[in-house]
C-alpha cells in the first residue's frame, strides 16, 4: 500500500502513521522527522531547513524533493510506504507523480484527516515527542500522557516539546497549511485518490481503513 496522509499540523498524521506502520509493516516517511534529525545533526540540509522550520514556514521544495527522491528508492519501500507531511504543495505533488512514474510505483490513496482548528491547537500545545531519534513516539499531556511523567513509555528517554510549538509558530503553520497544503485535497480528489474517513480518533480511522482495504 502506497499512502499519502493529508491533514493540518496536529491532525494526527504522525500518530496514525506509526499505528499503520506496525499493522502493515511498511515505513512511515515523515519529512518533518527527517528534517528535525538533519537539524540536530547539523547537516547541510539541516542548516538550510532550520530557520524555515522555527518560523513555521515550509522548507523550499527543492530541498524536500532531493530527500524524497533518495528515500523512496530505499529497499524498505518495496512493499509500500506511508507519506507523512509530504507532499505539502502542488509543485511537490506534481514532482511526486513524476518521481513515482520514474521508479515504477503508484499511489493507492490520499487519506485526508480533518480536525477542527480549536482541537488542533489543543493537541499541539499538549504534544510531547520522544527525544530519541530512533523512537520519536508521540504523547499528549491531556489525551495520552506518558506513564512516567517526562519519560517515553517505549524507550525511557525524555519526552520533549518541539521547537516549532510556540503559539506564534503554530498559528503560522496553520496559516501556511490553509494556503499551501489544503489545495492538495482537490488535487487528489481530481485523481480519484482521496478518502475522507470522517473521524478524528486514530482508532476510528484504523477501523475505516481496514474496511476499505478488505
Ligand atoms: P511536520 O513534522 O510534518 O509537522 P506537521 O505537518 O505540522 O504535523 P505535526 O507533526 O505537527 O502533526 P501531526 O498531524 O503528525 O500530529 P501528531 O500525530 O503529532 O513538519 C514540521 C515542519 O517541517 C514544517 O512546518 C516545515 O517547516 C517542515 N516540512 C516538513 N515537511 C515538509 C515538506 N514536505 N515541504 C516543506 N517543508 C516541510 O498529533 C498531534 C498531537 O495530537 C499529539 O500530541 C498526539 O498525541 C495527539 N493526537 C493525535 N491523534 C489524536 C487523536 N486521534 N485524538 C487525540 N489526540 C490525538
* Beta strand spans in the chain (E): 2-7, 28-30, 81-84, 109-113, 127-130, 138-140, 159-160, 194-195
* Ligand 1 pocket member 177 (CB < 6 A): no
Is the four-CA dihedral 180, 181, 182, 185 of positive or negative sign? positive
- Which atom of ligand 1 is found nearest the CA of 57? 27
DSSP, residue by residue, 69-97: HHHTTSGGGTT-EEEES---SHHHHHHHH
Active site residues: 13, 88, 127, 162, 173
Residue located nearest, by CA, to atom 23 of ligand 1:
32
143 CA from centroid of ligand 1 (Å): 16
In DSSP terms, which residues pair with 3 in a beta bridge? 82, 109
CA 194/CA 198 separation, integer angstroms: 12
| Per-residue pLDDT at 183 | 98
- Grid cell of 88 as nine digits: 505539502
- Kindly indicate the confidence band of residue 214, based on its pLDDT and cuts at 50, 70 and 90: confident
171 CA from centroid of ligand 1 (Å): 13
Q: Please return the burial class of 52, using the count of CB atoms within 10 Å of its CB with bins 0-12, 13-18 and 19+.
A: middle
Residue located nearest, by CA, to atom 17 of ligand 1:
12
In DSSP terms, which residues pair with 2 in a beta bridge? 81
33 CA from centroid of ligand 1 (Å): 9
Q: What is the pLDDT of residues 34-82, one digit of tens each?
A: 999 999 999 999 999 999 998 889 999 999 999 999 999 999 999 999 9
| Backbone phi, psi, residue 122, to 5° | -60, -45
* Ligand 1 pocket member 146 (CB < 6 A): no
Q: What is the pLDDT of residues 91-114, one digit of tens each?
A: 999 999 999 999 999 999 999 999
Whether the pTM exceeds 0.85: the reply is yes
Mean pLDDT of 129-150: 93
| Per-residue pLDDT at 13 | 96
User: Mean of the per-residue pLDDT values for the chain?
Assistant: 94
- Kindly indicate the confidence band of residue 24, based on its pLDDT and cuts at 50, 70 and 90: very high
Are 50 and 56 in contact by the 8 Å Cβ rule? The answer is no
| Per-residue pLDDT at 125 | 87
Quote the Cα angle for 103-90-137, to 5°.
75
| Per-residue pLDDT at 51 | 93
Judged against a pLDDT cut of 90, whether residue 133 lies above it is answered with no
Amino acid at each position: 500500500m502506497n499512502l499519502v496522509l493529508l491533514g493540518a499540523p496536529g491532525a494526527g498524521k504522525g500518530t496514525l502513521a506509526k499505528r499503520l506502520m506496525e499493522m502493515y509493516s511498511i515505513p512511515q516517511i515523515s519529512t518533518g522527522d527527517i528534517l528535525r534529525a538533519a537539524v540536530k545533526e547539523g547537516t547541510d540540509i539541516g542548516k538550510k531547513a532550520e530557520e524555515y522550520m522555527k518560523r513555521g514556514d515550509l522548507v523550499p521544495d527543492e530541498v524536500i524533493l532531493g530527500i524524497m527522491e533518495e528515500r523512496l528508492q530505499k529497499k524498505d519501500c518495496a512493499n509500500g510506504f506511508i507519506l507523512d507531511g509530504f507532499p505539502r504543495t502542488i509543485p511537490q505533488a506534481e514532482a511526486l507523480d513524476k518521481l513515482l512514474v520514474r521508479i515504477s510505483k503508484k499511489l493507492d490513496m490520499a487519506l485526508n484527516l480533518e480536525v477542527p482548528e480549536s482541537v488542533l491547537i489543543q493537541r499541539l500545545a499538549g504534544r510531547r515527542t520522544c527525544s530519541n531519534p530512533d523512537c520519536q513516539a508521540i504523547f499528549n499531556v491531556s489525551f495520552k500522557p506518558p506513564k512516567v511523567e517526562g519519560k517515553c513509555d517505549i524507550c525511557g528517554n525524555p519526552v520533549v516539546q518541539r521547537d516549532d510549538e510556540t503559539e506564534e509558530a503554530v498559528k503560522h503553520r496553520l496559516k501556511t497549511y490553509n494556503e499551501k497544503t489544503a489545495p492538495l485535497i482537490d488535487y487528489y480528489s481530481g485523481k480519484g485518490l482521496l478518502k475522507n474517513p470522517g473521524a478524528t480518533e486514530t482508532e476510528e480511522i484504523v477501523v475505516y481503513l481496514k474496511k476499505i482495504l478488505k
